[in-house]
Amino acid sequence: MHDFAIEQMNRLLTTLAFQVHRAAKKPGPDEIHDLRVSVRRFSQGLQLFADFFPKWEVKKIRRMLKRMMRLTSSIRDRDITLEFLAESEHAAHRPRLTKERSAYQRQFAEMVRRWSAHDFSAKWRNGLSLRGV
């Protein structure tokens, strides 16, 4: 079971790291959405296989993921609303929402910069002892 958990978590972390870099390069609606999906998948893996990994490490990673989800949720809500406004031809709120989105996008860029500076995927792989299977 332990090997299975490691194999799954390795796969999920590889996808998450890919989506983080993809969204950092181009933080468009699709990229943010895909990143959120990969965060959720990885979080679910952490929760499911929590007993196989160090508690402190799991807690630390989940806290970081939660922050990422909260921030990208603000971006995602604006993307959904902007799409709705474009379809329904309401123009009034677009400038405000675009401005708000840009502000959240800057916060996102800063968060990703910090994650990358710490080489988060290598750190998490080490912390969870995912190497060697």
Partner 1 sequence: MKLKPSHSAAENARVVLPKMARKYFEAGRKAIEGKRPPEELHAFRLETKRLRYTLEMFRPVYGPNLDRYLKALRELQSALGKVSDYQAIQRVLSGDDEVKKQLEHALKGKIKDLRQSWRVFDSDGQLKRWRTYLAGDHSKPRAKGPARAASKKVAVRAAS
Residues that bind partner 1 (CB under 8 A): 1-2, 4-5, 8, 12, 40-41, 44-45, 47-49, 51-52, 76-78, 80-81, 84, 88, 90, 92-93, 97
Least distance (Å) from partner 1 to the CB of residue 26? 22
Least distance (Å) from partner 1 to the CB of residue 116? 25
Least distance (Å) from partner 1 to the CB of residue 45? 6
Quick one: 24 or 52, whose CB is closer to partner 1? 52
Quick one: 27 or 45, whose CB is closer to partner 1? 45
| DSSP character string of 23-59 | HHH---HHHHHHHHHHHHHHHHHHHHTGGGS-HHHHH
Q: Quote the crossing angle between the two packed helices 55-88 and 94-117, to the nearest 10°.
A: 160
First-to-last C-alpha distance (Å) of the chain: 12
**Helix, strand or coil, per DSSP, at residue 85:** helix
